[in-house]
Structures are given as C-alpha cells and as structure tokens.
Structure 1
Amino acid sequence: MFVVAALYLLRHGQTEWTVSGRHTGRTDVPLTPEGERRARAAGRLLRELRGDTPPALVLSSPRRRALRSAELAGLTVTDITEEVAEWDYGDYEGLTTPEIREHVPGWRVWTHPTPGGETAEAVGTRATRVVHRVRAALPAGDAIIVGHGHFSRVLIATWIAQPPSFGVHFGLEPGAVTVLGEERGAPQVVRLNLPPIDP
C-alpha cells in the first residue's frame, strides 16, 4: 500500500511555566511529572498514528523540555537545532500576557512588538526554512519536530501558505500531536492538537 509521508509536530510536555502562562522562550525549564507522563503518552500516540517505521527526519529544539519530551516519547533525534526553538520573547521572557498588558494594553505576541525578541515575521522566516527542509526529506519518509507552542503554530500557518500571525487560530496543548500533510498537492492540516493516549 502506498503511504504518503507526513510531518508530525509534538509540542513538549507541561512545565511549571506553561501552567502559569509565563512566556518561555530561551529559559530552560524542566518538565513537570505530568509533563513527563504526557510525553510518554505522546510517544504511544505517535506509534499509533505512524506505526513502527523509523522516520526520515526528527528535529528537536535544543531546550531540555523538548529533548526530554523526545526521549520519553521514544524518538531518536537526528538534529538538534535552534531553527525549531521557541519564539524569542526578549524582554517579555518569563512574563504572562496580563503582566505585559499592564504596560502595553491589548498586547499580543502575534501583532505587537516584542522588545529585544523576535517579530512574527522573523519567526516565520525560520519556519519557512524548516518547511523547505522537511519537504525535501518527506520523499524518504515521515518527519517529526519536537518543539514549542508558538513556533509550531507559526509552522502550521507556514505549511498552509498563511502569514505567521495566522498561527493565532491554532491551539496546541502541551504534549499534543499535530499532523501536517497534503491532499493532491495542496498542503493540509490533517490532524490538530491530538491529546496523548493514556495506557
């Protein structure tokens, strides 16, 4: 049977900062016990979706929350790269959106400046490079990216030829899996934000 390869996105498991809503870009926070549990469960979900065929490419962010999620999910990372790291929040690192809005009313990462950090367009440029790399690898098999919430949402938008700010329309929970593919040559979001499978 002919199977079309796909791109699987695994958002890292829960951390204390995801629970509190703090913007977590460069800060290297560990997974919580719940985050570790969900990362293991995400591995079961990936095997359910993909079977046991080794993927052609597994990219991971260098942050330990992503690398640990990949390990617990049973993945062998082929490249650790800043290209799939989280959005750089600059001066807003570690702050919640309500805290930022005390000084910048109505602030959203998708539409407002992030002093000392990346713009949506800069994140989109990274996502475009990653999409090109993944599409070049797909003839050899599936690709998996273990990364972060905001960057992955920009990547999904990029996959379907939308601007980076379109990522606001996609929800991604910690430990969830998203599948990107094509239908007759048209890029498609095949599955979005699938929760991990509990044993």
Structure 2
Amino acid sequence: MTALRRFYLVRHGETDWNVAGRLQGRRDIPLNSLGRAQAARVGHVLHQLAGDVTGLTYVSSPMSRALETMRILRTTLDLPMSDFSHDPQLAELSFGQWEGMTWPDLRRRDAELVKQRELDPWSFVPPEGESYAQLAVRAGAALDRIPGNAVVVTHGGVIRSMLHARAGMPAEEAAAIPIRQGAIYVLEAGAYQLKS
C-alpha cells in the first residue's frame, strides 16, 4: 500500500503576459515584479503550513517563470536557492498555435474552434496543442515519480488537471477554475485546500 503523500502545488508568480491575458502555454515568459513578490509570499505561507521545510522534496517545471518562483521561494525559506529538481512533464498545457493570443483575439480569429472548446474544455485540443485530459496524464506521471511530501512549482493548467485527476473536481469545473498566484494548493488524500 502506498503511503499518503502531500503535495504543495504552487503556480508560478505573475508575468506581463498574465496581466495582458495572453495564453502563455510553452512560451518562456519571465516573472514581473509582482510575480517575484508573490513567490516570496508563497515561501512564508509554506513555512507556516509545513513547519520543517527541510524534509520536503522540491520539484519545478523547467520553464523560467516556474524556476524563478522556486528559487525565490527557497531563498525565503533559507534553503539553497538551486538545490531542487525539475521535470519537463510539469510544463504548462500547450496551447499550440494559440500561444501569445488573447481570448478576444481568438474569438475573432478562430470563433468556431473557441465554441468547440467551450462545449468540452477538458477534452478540446487547440491546433498543435494538447488537452487538459492529455496534460493530466503527463503531470500525474510526474507527481507519481516524486518521493514523499513535495513542493511542486508549476502552472495553472497543471494544477487544474490535478484538481480533477487527484481531488475529484468535475472536469468542466477544473478546466475553468481560476488558479491563484501567491497561494498554495495543498493536495492530499483525494482532496485539496487553498492556502494563502
């Protein structure tokens, strides 16, 4: 029997593309100044939640916005800044050809495809992208490889996929729920709690 594990899921801090409402996906967009402050805040929240943070495993998406969030978070905890691993399967959902666009842009350019997505946001695959269903498989495999309780710095799409796959949130709700920056989604025993 597998021991219960706790995952502290952290969305990277804010970027200028978040502010502009652009779909980032696999584009490597850096944190802005608010994003760096959010990363430090998460470090303080994690210390309050977990107490002894030295026994946790730390894993990040390889994208720069997640790596920088993890480095700042660890610095806030007085841990070595770069002593963590990263896993490419924790990268953000690929929006394919839609990356860099805003939803208003897409409603003008690809109105029919946007309507299809609205009917089934969990299974819809953007042109040359991937669905939340596909993301849940690869991100779930990444979590399964992590030993013990862990801090995972990743992306909104990855957290949405895990809220469905690991906490039972209905797929349509999970695909649409806003994922906060500067907060922690504690995933354990088939449920989650939002801490900020």
- How high is the TM-score relative to the length of structure 1? 0.81
- Whether the aligned pair in 2 keeps the contact of 1:63 and 1:85 (CA below 8 Å) is yes
Cα distance in 2 for partners of 1:82, 1:41 equals 25
- Whether the aligned pair in 2 keeps the contact of 1:90 and 1:115 (CA below 8 Å) is yes
How far apart are residue 90 of structure 1 and its match? Answer: 0.3
How far apart are residue 171 of structure 1 and its match? Answer: 2.8
Q: Which residue is 2:105 aligned to? A: 99
Amino acid at match of 2:134: A
- Whether the aligned pair in 2 keeps the contact of 1:22 and 1:93 (CA below 8 Å) is yes
> Which deviates the most, 90-99 or 153-162?
153-162
Name whichever structure is richer in helix by fraction. Answer: 2
The aligned length equals 181
Cα offsets for 1:139-189 (capped at 9, x unmatched):
xxx21110111111101211125675552253311222110112xxxx111
Unaligned runs of 5+ in 1: none
Question: Which of 133, 139, 143 matches 2:145?
Answer: 133
Q: Which residue is 1:85 aligned to? A: 91
- Whether the aligned pair in 2 keeps the contact of 1:92 and 1:115 (CA below 8 Å) is yes
Q: Which residue is 2:125 aligned to? A: 113
Q: Which residue is 2:151 aligned to? A: 144
Q: Percentage identity across aligned positions? A: 30
Q: 1:92 to 1:119 in 2, by over 3 A?
A: same
Unaligned runs of 5+ in 2: none
- How high is the TM-score relative to the length of structure 2? 0.83
Q: 1:100 to 1:112 in 2, by over 3 A?
A: farther
- Whether the aligned pair in 2 keeps the contact of 1:124 and 1:163 (CA below 8 Å) is no
> Which deviates the most, 18-27 or 170-179?
170-179
Cα distance in 2 for partners of 1:42, 1:27 equals 23
How far apart are residue 77 of structure 1 and its match? Answer: 4.9
Q: For residues 187-198 of structure 1, what are the structure 2 equivalents within 5 Å?
A: 187-189=190-192, 191-192=193-194, 194-195=195-196
Q: For residues 7-18 of structure 1, what are the structure 2 equivalents within 5 Å?
A: 7-18=7-18
Q: Find the residue that maps to 1:9 and give its secondary structure.
A: strand
